[in-house]
Structure 1
Amino acid sequence: MTGDFTSIPVVDIAPLYDGDGTSRHTVDEAIGGACCDIGFFVVTGQSSAARLDETRRSRLLAFLDCTREVKWPIARRKYEPSNRNIYRGYFPAIDGVLAYKEGIDIGPELTPSDPRLSLGHPLLETNLWPPEAVVPGWRSAILDYYAAMEELGFQLLHAIARFLALPDDWFDDKFRGGNSTLRLLRYPVRTAASVAGIEEKILRLHDGKRYEIMTAEHCDSGCLTLLHQDGVGGLQARNRQGDWIDVPAIDGSVVVNLGDLMQRWTNDLFRATEHRVLGSGQVRESVPFFFEPAVDAVIAAPPGFAERGPGYPPIAYGDYLIEKVQRFPEFSNFLPALGN
C-alpha cells in the first residue's frame, strides 16, 4: 500500500456486465489497484437499477421529509426508550456532536420465520416501516434499490477476487444471508444550538479556508461502502502525506471505499482510508450502502495470504462489527438498551 494519491480514480465497470475477457481484466486491475493504493474509487457504468438521479434520490429520501409523528415510532430505542429496535431505524440530528446528521438504517427484509433471526444476534432485526398511506411506494422503492446495491456489491467482489487470483465466487458464501445496511442521510445546515460547546472542535482548515465538520475523520467498519452522494460535495479522503483529497461527485456514479474489515481480510494488502465530510452551508444528502457479510461469517485471510502481513486471527463478522460501530455517535452504548 502506498497511499500517495492526489486524486480519486473513476472506473467504468460496464465491462463487468457484458465485456470480453480483456476489457473485464482491465477493470479488475483498476479496481484492485485502487484497493491496494487508495481504498477509494468511483464507479460508473453500473446497472440502471443501481444508479440514482435527482428524482430517484428524492423518492428514497422521502421518509426524512416526514413529520416527527411519522419518524419517532421507528426511531431507535437509544432515542425513544419505548421502541424495541436498537440497530435499525431512525436517528435524529443531535446538537453538540460532530456528526450532525439525521437518517434511517434499513437492513435485509427479514420475515419472522427467517432463519437468521434464530441466531439471536443483536444486529439482526426486522425493519420497521412507516404506514404505506403516509409514504406511498417508499417501501417498495427502498427494497428495489437495496437489491440492486447487493447485486453491485457482488459484481465488485467478483472483480476483487479475480484481482487476488481467487475464484470469482470466493467471497460469495460469506455474503449469502448477509446483513447489509442501506442508510439514508441528510446533513442539515448547522444551527447555533448544534455547535454550542464544540465550536473549536468542529472547525477544520482546508486550502486556507475554515469549514465546519459534518462527519469527523474515520474509517468505515465493514467491507465495501457503496455511496451515492449529491452534487453538494464535501467528502474527502486522506492520503499518506496527510492531504485531504476531494472525492468527485459525478452524476449517477457510486463512490466505493473499503472498510477496516477488507483491510484485515486481505492481511493489509488492501487499504481502508480515513475520510470525512466538510460542511458547505448547504443541506447535503447521501445514500450509503454498507455491503456486509452474514453476522456469523468467519473472516479469515484467503489461502496464501496469511504470510503476507501481520496475520489476523479469524473472527465472526457480527462480533467484529459490534466492537467497531460503537465508535460512532448513533451507535454509542446501543447494546445496554438490551441489558448487555
Structure 2
Amino acid sequence: MTANPRAIPPTVAPSEKVKAAIAAAKELPLLDVGPYLAGEPGALEQLAADVKLIQENLGFFAIVNHGIPQSLIDESFAQTAKLFELSMEEKLRHRVGYHHQGYLPPKSSILKSTAIMEKIAVNTKKDTNAAWLFMRNRDADDPKVRANVRHRGLNQWPESLPAFKAALHAYQSAMEKLSLKLLPIYARALGLRAEHFDPMFKAPEYYQRCAYYHPEEHMDEGQYALAPHSDGSFLTLLPMTPVPGLQVMTPAKEWLKVSYVKDALIVNTGQVLNRLSNDHFIATPHRVVNPPMKRYALTFFFYPDDDASVAPIPECIAPGEQARYDTRSFYDFFVPYLDDLYHYNDPNFMKEVEPAGVTAQA
C-alpha cells in the first residue's frame, strides 16, 4: 500500500512465517488468534501486520484457536449432511426464489461475475453443487419482511429437520460473534483506529451457504463444482474439511490447492472490504473443483449494516489516488452483486412476489 500520512500503520513488521508462506504460495498462511482473543499485549498489532501483508497479496489465510467449539462445527456439518438427504420433493418445496433464500438444486445455476472476467474466462457451465441459502433469520413482524425488502425475507427451514435449524442458529451466532471480534484486526491493518468499523456493524447482516459437492463421474470441460468467483463479503469464514476441492488464485494467477489443517477456519475478504480499502485489500478469486468424495461446506459471509457506506475510506486513498468506487450503501451494493453472480434456470427467479408479506420464494 502506498504510504498515506492519514493512516497509522501497524507498529510491527509481518512475521517471517507469513512472509515465507506468501512468497512460496503453496499453502495458506496460518495465524494463531488465541493470544489476541485473550487480550495479550501486542497481539493485535502483530496480527494486523500479518493480515495487511496477506490482504495485499493472497487474500486468504487460516486461523486456529479461534474459540468456536469444534463440537459445534462437527454438529453443524452432521446436520448439513442430513439436510441434503431430504427427499427432493421436500427440498423443491423450498426452492430458492426472489429473496435468494432456500434450496438451490445441482446444475440449476451458472456462477459468473463481471468483477473477475479479466482474470478468468467467463463461466458458461452450470455448477454441479447443491446448496441451501440462508440470510439473517427474521420473523414475520420484522419491518423488512413486512415491506418485502429483497433478500431480507423469511428463511426457508425444512419442516422435517428441526435439529438442523437449532444447530445452524448456534453456528451462525458463534460465527457472528467471532467476525465482530476480528474487525479491529482489519482496521489496524488498514492503518485505522481499532474501533473504526464499529459504527458499520451495529446490526450486521450475514449470508449462510450450506453446500453439498457431489463427486461427479463426468464434468464438462470448463465446468466446476463451484465456478471461480470472488466473495461479496466484508469477510468470509469457512471451517476446513479434510475433503479437498477448494482452490485459491495466487498473485501469479496459479491455483493453490488448500490443504487441510485440523480445527482451523479459512478466512478471506470480499468485495466490500475491497471497496472500502480502495483496492488495497484484494477480493481473491477462488473455486471448488470436483471432489473425490462427498464434500460439505458451511460458508459464513459477514456483512455490515444495510445502510453502512461502502465507499472507499478516505484514509485508504493514498496521495495521488482517486476513489475507485462510488458512494453507496451496503444494501445497494449487495443486491446487484448477487444478481451479477447467480444466473438461474428458473425464469421466475427475478419476478417479484406480491403482495408484500407473502413468502417470496419460487
TM-score (normalizing by structure 2): 0.79
- 1:225 equivalent in structure 2: 236
- 2:164 equivalent in structure 1: 138
- Deviation, 1:334, is 7.1
Task: Please state if 1:315 is matched with 2:325.
Answer: no
C-alpha deviations, 1:90-148, integer Å up to 9, x for none?
Answer: 111027944211111112121222244466431211112122xx224221111111011
Which is worse superposed, 178-187 or 324-333?
A: 324-333
Distance 2:71 2:41 in 1: 25
- Equivalent residue of 1:226, what SS? strand
Task: Please state if 1:124 is matched with 2:138.
Answer: no
Kindly report which structure 2 residues correspond to 1:49-88, keeping only aligned pairs within 5 A, or say none.
Answer: 49=69, 53-77=73-97, 86-88=99-101
Question: Relative to 1, partners in 2 of residues 1:334 and 1:228: Cα closer, same or farther, differing over 3 Å?
Answer: farther
Task: Please state if 1:324 is matched with 2:337.
Answer: yes
- Equivalent residue of 1:326, what SS? helix
Kindly report which structure 2 residues correspond to 1:1-340, keeping only aligned pairs within 5 A, or say none.
Answer: 6=25, 7-49=27-69, 53-77=73-97, 86-94=99-107, 97-117=125-145, 120-131=148-159, 134-192=160-218, 195=219, 199-202=220-223, 213-307=224-318, 309-311=321-323, 312-329=325-342, 336-338=350-352
The number of aligned residues is 316
2:327 is matched by which residue type in structure 1? P
Residues 102, 187 of structure 1: 8 Å contact kept: yes
- Deviation, 1:329, is 3.8
Distance 1:216 1:71 in 2: 23
Distance 1:201 1:66 in 2: 30
- 1:210 equivalent in structure 2: none
C-alpha deviations, 1:55-85, integer Å up to 9, x for none?
Answer: 44112442112112322222123xxxxxxx5
- 1:207 equivalent in structure 2: none
Which is worse superposed, 319-328 or 288-297?
A: 319-328
2:169 is matched by which residue type in structure 1? L
2:215 is matched by which residue type in structure 1? V
- Deviation, 1:162, is 2.4
1:94 is matched by which residue type in structure 2? K
Residues 10, 43 of structure 1: 8 Å contact kept: yes
Residues 57, 282 of structure 2: 8 Å contact kept: yes
* Structure 1: tracts of 5 or more residues without a match: 78-84, 203-212
Q: CA RMSD in A?
A: 2.7
Residues 53, 252 of structure 1: 8 Å contact kept: no
- Deviation, 1:177, is 2.2
Which is worse superposed, 36-45 or 296-305?
A: 296-305
2:161 is matched by which residue type in structure 1? V
Which is worse superposed, 67-76 or 286-295?
A: 67-76
Residues 59, 283 of structure 2: 8 Å contact kept: yes
TM-score (normalizing by structure 1): 0.83
Question: Relative to 1, partners in 2 of residues 1:128 and 1:95: Cα closer, same or farther, differing over 3 Å?
Answer: closer
C-alpha deviations, 1:158-190, integer Å up to 9, x for none?
Answer: 211122232333223322222201111001122
* Structure 2: tracts of 5 or more residues without a match: 2-18, 110-124, 355-362
* Identity over aligned pairs, percent: 23
- Equivalent residue of 2:280, what SS? coil
Distance 1:220 1:326 in 2: 13
Residues 34, 40 of structure 1: 8 Å contact kept: yes
Distance 1:339 1:55 in 2: 35
Distance 1:67 1:35 in 2: 42
Residues 60, 141 of structure 1: 8 Å contact kept: no
- Equivalent residue of 1:338, what SS? coil
- Equivalent residue of 2:283, what SS? coil
- 2:5 equivalent in structure 1: none
